[in-house]
Structure 1
């Protein structure tokens, strides 16, 4: 018990240190390369923070542990959307770049729906995994064509290079990623020991312990980015990670699988639907004010913990399960939908009036 606890603490320290290095030097790297921080977040940071999911999923696929692999990917994306964005927004309201709303979030929703429909027959074939890898190549090409430039910095003191050298920024960014992945692995391994000692099933471990563990790089990176004011990185890395989890992680893991990947009906009946609902909710929430404010972050967090509570109740076959489901379906979820729609429609009306007033004044 002592040794897993020590690995847990060491992993936590490694995660925090790695996130601090990554956010600090990736921002400088974007400045040096003359590209937007959003594009860096959607690619470099998202790929780096998705590395644990890729490693766990490929290993699970090779070993035939497909319940763990699929549960990890779906659970990780739920954790990314509801837990990470919610927790980060509670600390500091998150800025959402308009390009995310126009392109990347709809792409994220489209990919989620595509994989759901591909899974309805009960499995994902190697050809369907190949399709996901092809879509990954197309998405990366799309990102490479995206226009965006780094923010113009304040004028530095004479003889002082605020951005630092390109090589140093690359090395320290890489070191941050290594610390993130290493710390996540230590945390996952120690948490798995605790979960197995508690007698938790493999699927639930994949949906919760492993999913949260492999999402730790995104969690810590987003929190550190939000605290440091790098809000494009905070939101962009989560959206990019969700896209890459499906296209890169599931795609490559499927190619390594000796057979088609079976899809559990329980994933289709509940977990996938939770992910789809959370992804759809991102569109109006991101649209209102182009940011995620604290109450919206609290709403995301509430639904994430409600999701975990449901998993606990269903796993233990608790007598409170039916009451909980009825309260969520007939009260909590409708209230949340009405609230989000009200704010979205109010925002749309305000923007329509503002644009109309601006055009009228311009014509005068």
Structure 2
């Protein structure tokens, strides 16, 4: 048994360690007690939220404006009441983005929550970069597909014309063979230019975009951060059940698939309800199956038949260009996979994406 002096000494040492930690950590952190009084904060929090030493001991409601996040007190109360950790991406009124974690501070001896510790990680730059990356990926996929699609028909038509001209009699046109050869030479040159253009422009990216072992949960988290503004504005609730966490695939393509499906699940939801989305991942034979289920507007059987077609928009009163699901289907089928769709008008949809896993099933 420790003597009273030994116990006091231990408490002093623990308090000094806590003070030392709060003084030297590089993460903005706050300690708020069960009465919503600000008890401690780290120097980065002082700088980030313009906190002053005289704020210590003050109720949070007197200084909540410093955090530029209106519901912070409600979030603290919820954690104190439930004893559960709260993790969420928040946007402050100055348009910054943070990963906010509110952890219950439990007094084990009394078995109760006596306050919370709050951490803030600035993710503004990461969200901006992810959004820009997603935009570039979409533009790249669309450009490459458009080149392949739109140039194919003119070349085919020109080839057929040349074949027909070759079968026609020369009549008395002395220059006809020369003109024909010029057309044929032009066609060959066109093919060569297009081939070199595509090869030189995308060769580096093709080399970089090799398949790798990916953590599906991490990819989903990147997509959630990219869609953070839409999630916040719509009040979307996204749940996940990842039972097959890894897949060997090209990172940007997997992100594009999940991004487009999640984005649609948020977008195509009636105005009178908040999007509720469940993301599941499981193994099925040689496939990794990613399913995304929503409570959105749903689709009729007729709409489901054309939803994967290029530039086909089944709901004209929603923003978009009709290429998202087309690109998803293109990526999945090109990789030897498939997509299944179940949907009921007014009740929601479920997209099941089957991706072959080079490493075998989960």
TM-score norm. by structure 1 comes to: 0.21
Higher RCO structure, 1 or 2 (CA under 8 Å, sep 6+): 1
Higher helix share: 1
Compare CA radii of gyration and give the structure with the larger one: 2
Higher strand share: 2
TM-score norm. by structure 2 comes to: 0.21
